[in-house]
Amino acid sequence: MKLFILSIAFYLPLTFIQGQDAETTGFPKKYLGVYTGGLTIYSNKRQQKIPMELHLTTTDSIGIYNYTLVYGKNDNRQERP
């Protein structure tokens, strides 16, 4: 009997939990674009900062998106799709 009551007490709140849908959050359209910042790498001897970008773009297919990571600038620029 105790197990039954504990089971109900545990599972009943789960019936009221709902996830957020795309209309509510605006995902992914709200998050498309180019993000820039810096990547900091820490080691025992030094700290290194590298400029970094994240490109989130659409494709011709519904529900499929591209992302590209860009490290560095100018001659040291590396793109990783």
Residue 76 lies in a domain: yes
Residue 47 lies in a domain: yes
Could you count the other beta carbons within 10 Å of the beta carbon of residue 29? 11
Residue 72 lies in a domain: yes
- Could you tell me where the DSSP H helices lie in 12-61? 22-25
Length of the chain: 81
Closest CA to 71 of 42, 56, 47, 49: 49
Residue 13 lies in a domain: no
Residue 14 lies in a domain: no
46 versus 5: the higher-pLDDT residue is 46
Q: How many domains does the chain have?
A: 1
What CA–CA distance (Å, rounded) separates 35 from 7? Answer: 46
| Window from 15-19, 44-48, 62-66, 77-81 with minimum mean pLDDT | 15-19
Q: Which pLDDT score is estimated for 20?
A: 61
Residue 2 lies in a domain: no
Q: Which pLDDT score is estimated for 40?
A: 96
pTM equals 0.64
pLDDT digits (tens, 9 = 90+) for 6-60: 666 666 665 666 666 666 667 778 889 999 999 999 999 999 999 999 999 999 9
Residue span of the structural domain in which 58 resides: 19-80
